[in-house]
A and B are shown apart, each in its own frame.
Chain A
Amino acid sequence: MKRILVFLVLSLFVFTLPLHSGALPLLKVGFVAPLTGVFAPTGRDLLDGYTLYLEQTKQRWGGRGVVLIQEDDQLNPGIALTKVRKLAESDRVELLTGIISAAAAYAMRDYIDQQAVPTVISVAGGDDVTQRARGKFTVRTGWGASSQTAHPFGEYAYRDLGYRRVATIADDFAFGHEWIGGFQRTFEDLGGRVVRKLWAPLGTADFTPFLVQIPRDVDAVVAAVVGPIALRFVRQYADLGLKARTPMIGPGHMTDEINLPQMGDEVVGMITVLHYSAVLDNAANRKFVEAYAKRFNRVPSAYSEAGYTAALWIDRALQRTGGLVSNKEAFMKAMAGLVIADSPRGPVRLDAAGNAVHNIYVRRVDRVGGALQNAVIRTFPTVSQFWTFDPDAYLKQPVYSRDVPPCRFCER
């Protein structure tokens, strides 16, 4: 009896041996995002997207076991850089991913280039992350550039919504500047006029002093106030009786699936633009939303989708390189050459600068069965960060900022 047991154990060992001897070591992937603080819900959704994909693939990408090492950057570029150093030097990760803050992305660029760690940015929208300040080992598979959704939306506002005179109000930081800049560019190219530009400090408590400065006779208010502050912004807008008078439009961040459950009548009918909506009608998204809701008991946001698709992206690239990242150039090439037809947000590929080219959706907040959702009402297919402009000419212009483009039609 004993002998049989010994034989069994030994044979088990022998049978499993070949599996171990040829297999690649565990692939360590570093993940950096805000997991505490005001923006923690975005980091959580992002991480949950990765987690879902990891679980669905049984933690094997490109035939290789994968482990995700999480770090919290608290949305602070200095902390982000420290965490990236720790991941690269102490954990020896072969890949980096996550990254929600554009400031963090800029802060870690030089270090990443110097260490040559391929980095898949899944959110950080700052235009120049994939434009004038692009890193050699960086791609952005998630949100695309900040102004990427604004370019088509400016034309949509002019042509489809028929707006001619608008006022803008936005967070006074890079995202607000770049998004409003992109909108103003295409809106005014067609003949529209931005007659007032208001900038609210990040975290503004009371928006009333800004809201009362909006001229009465504009066709619409274009607003880019994002994150948790958007909740109080749209509420204060409605409370002043402005919603009944002047429609408000803006980036989809305002009514994302993190904010939406807390919102009510103040946003019903609001038209926004983004590369994703949880109610997007395609097979991959239906499957994704169902699996995500089952696993996390929530509706996924664009952050969740960004995490899921970034994971999918890395997996597909690893499949092409046989699980190897050691040849960095070959891996970056594999990443750049991918065309993902079945991501939840629709088809995605990367442009020459390593930024996602994907559909941009115009959505309207509808109440369906008591819950609010972002119903897709128009699709702009395969939109790049350069929209219809020539990339070289576009990159010669300065990046959008408070005064770029200048407010030629501003009235005071």
Chain B
Amino acid sequence: MTLWPTLAVNGIAFGMLLFLLGSGLSLIFGVLRIVNLAHGSYYLLGAYVGVTIVRATGSFSLAVLGAAGTTLACGVLMQRLFLRRLAGRVLPQVLLTMGFLLLLADITLWIWGGDPQILPTPAALQGAVVVGPVVLPTYRGFVMATSGVLALLLWLGLDRTRLGAQVRAAVDDPETAQAMGIDVPLLGTAMFGVGAALAGIGGILGSPFLGVYPGADLDVLTLAFAVVIIGGLGSLPGTLAGSLLVGLADNFGKVLVPELSYITLFAPMALILAVRPRGLFGRS
């Protein structure tokens, strides 16, 4: 029976894409304590920019760079010009990101129109890999690997470098970190940009099998929240665990209990909220 191993591998592959979408949200919350409702909009923006670059140049790697660059710039500007003015004021910040969600939805609609779009799967990555009992579309394998590498880089960067230590210090105690000579506001802006870029990369990597359309921002935002709430906002290992859990629960749930297909994505989140509201790796 090839069903179960295939589901397991696909669950992990889908989970790794979810990690790209969730990790930025988590990172931004960890450093700046901002719940960014415009996070799905970076997926939308990254996907549209990427699709346009692929159509113009035919190069997928250029599209990934373009998507990352655009969303990075968008995140940095958003934080620098607007959110920074509201530092520490939670409700106005959330409302402002809500405003950006609507604004970016309208801007993308204005530029790219309302027609749904989907990128052709890059030629080198078409078809499926069959290993023993497992069938995995080649492209999903590629996304899984790319997200895995990015996750590793993120972890190494935050855990093993001097910059990472500064970020962690800024998360734990911004005042003391500032007093020690760490430029906390600059770090915050940088991390906001990186978080946005991760979702932008998720957008371009996701567009050959999820596509992009008006409303995708909200779909992605919901997924990102499911992942982050399970893992615990602000925790990178938590986001990884949450992503894999949601990916696997979605895959197995839809086969084992098809009657509950609607909630397989969100059931783990509801469960965690009930028993451990801080999330698996969250700190109080």
Contacts and interface: CB of A to CB of B under 8 A. Distances in A.
A201 interface: yes
B9 to A, nearest CB: 10
A69 interface: no
A41 B128 contact: no
A116 interface: no
A240 B126 CA distance: 10
B177 interface: no
Given A203-B219, A232-B211, A44 B114 contact: yes
A212 interface: yes
Interface in B214-271: 214-215, 219, 223, 250-255, 258, 261-262, 265
B277 interface: no
B128 A239 contact: yes
A227 B137 CA distance: 24
Nearest to A38: B215
Contacts of B127: 239, 241
Contacts of A65: none
A147 B237 CA distance: 49
B15 to A, nearest CB: 10
Interface stretch (A52-60, A257-265, A345-353): A257-265
Interface in B93-145: 109, 114-118, 120-121, 126-128, 130, 135, 137-140
A38 B213 CA distance: 7
B6 interface: yes
A150 to B, nearest CB: 22
Nearest to A40: B114
A321 interface: no
Given A205-B219, A208-B10, A209-B10, A41 B210 contact: no
A108 interface: no
Contacts of A219: none
A122 to B, nearest CB: 19
Contact of A206 (B3, B10, B135, B258): B10
Given A240-B128, A259-B116, A231 B254 contact: no
B116 A205 contact: no
B250 A206 contact: yes
Nearest to B18: A205
A336 B40 CA distance: 48
Contacts of A111: none
B208 interface: yes
B117 A40 contact: no
A240 B116 contact: no
Contacts of A208: 6-7, 10, 14, 251
A289 B129 CA distance: 43
A204 B261 CA distance: 9
8 contacts: A198-B258, A201-B261, A204-B261, A206-B10, A209-B251, A232-B209, A239-B138, A264-B120
Please list the 4 inter-chain residue pairs (A to B) with the smallest Cβ-Cβ separation, ordered nearest first.
Answer: A228-B116, A239-B137, A209-B254, A40-B114
